[in-house]
Amino acid sequence: MASEHYSSVDPVLYPNGVTSGSGGSAMSWSAIMAGTVGAIALTLTLLALGSAFGLASVSPWPGMGAKADTFSVGAGVWLIVTQWLAAALGGYVAGRTRTRWQGLHTDEVFFRDTVHGFMAWATATVVVAAVGVSAAALSNIGAAPVDLDTSREAIDAARKVAATVAGFTALSLLVGAFIGGVGGAVGGRLRDRHP
């Protein structure tokens, strides 16, 4: 039979064996919000850095700025790296800053830490998506209608770029969710080892 591993009370911190118990909520929303804020702040910082590198220099006019296909590959890779780093930081902060659970099986603690990291990633993703959609919608309110004579080739090229960007985004989000969970598990493990 496999041995059961339970988190034990540190006798230095709790000389009488008294703990706060684990009867409270399994979710520490303050830790999740801390991870969310950290992930969003790192995302904004890395997006600004990417803009400084010229990854946002696409121009709709021929011969000006980067081409759309160059933008989709270069910016797509940068957006993936940004998402993964922000997810790792947000998950780690959420796992590291949560309260310590006593008397729980280590598998349950691992699961809760992973959920904290995932929830920090999910909350940050929803907030950034909502702000982005709102900004895009507001930017079109005062725009005058433009009568463009677009060719079939230009429409097809725009469709291909949009599909490429959607593919990069989907890949980034899937792997970011996993990385956020791993970050939460690592942060929680370190939280329990170094109270």
Domain locations in the chain as residue ranges: 35-133+156-193
Count of positions (residues) in the chain: 195
Per-residue confidence (pLDDT) for residue 147, from 0 to 100: 58
- Contacts with 182 (C-beta within 8 Å, 6 or more apart), sequence order: 88, 91, 114, 117
Based on the number of CB atoms within 10 Å of its own CB, is 137 exposed (0-12), middle (13-18) or buried (19 or more)?
exposed
Closest C-alpha among 117, 107, 118, 101 to residue 186? 117
pLDDT at 167: 83
Q: How far apart are CA 28 and CA 116, in angstroms?
A: 8
pTM of the model: 0.75
Of 68-72, 86-90, 128-132, 183-187, the poorest mean pLDDT is in 68-72
